[in-house]
Amino acid sequence: MPVPFAMPVEIAAELLAVAAVEFKMVAELYEAYGQPAPGNAKQRSLVYLSVWSERRGLDAASPATILALSKSAALRKSIRRRLARSGFRKLPTLTPFMIGAAAGAYVNRRDTAKLAAEIRRSLRERQPADPAYWLTARPDHPEP
């Protein structure tokens, strides 16, 4: 049974867990489609966070994309709006007898699948940044 004082913590924990899974999925989709984001870990994370918050694929290889992300006020607003909407959708998970948990799991699964479909559709429209990406990624490929 939910404890009233723990409800905000439960919502926040579930929200962060789902966001982390979706964020990791976005990064893996970019890698799988041969379009990894350039730069160091912080720059790649910023690109993938932006993709996650806007629910669409960005051209991660474009310097203009990285430059646009440096204007982080819009990104923060987008993330805040996305997390707030997700939080409101997760309120049913607090209902007793696990009915809300089942509904929340369904919504999370559906939303994550929808996000994956949107990102994959966007990524399919572009060519890989490096056409030889998959050839060099093969384990039996000799090092240059």
Residue 121 C-beta-side C-alpha neighbours within 13 Å: 8
Q: What is the mean pLDDT of the chain?
A: 75
Does 97 have pLDDT greater than 50? Answer: no
Instruction: Indicate the angle between helix axes 41-54 and 7-32, nearest 10 degrees.
Output: 110
Of residues 104 and 95, more confidence is placed in 104
Of residues 38 and 117, more confidence is placed in 117
Query: Which one-letter DSSP state was computed for residue 87?
Result: H
pLDDT cut 90: percent of the chain above it: 3
Does 129 have pLDDT greater than 60? Answer: yes
Residue 23, both tokens: 């964020």
Confidence band (pLDDT; 50, 70, 90) for 57?
A: low
pLDDT score recorded for residue 4? 63
Of residues 139 and 99, more confidence is placed in 139
Confidence band (pLDDT; 50, 70, 90) for 125?
A: confident
> Using one digit for the tens of pLDDT, what is the confidence trace for 3-15?
666 677 777 788 8
How many beta carbons lie within 10 A of that of residue 60, not counting itself?
Answer: 23
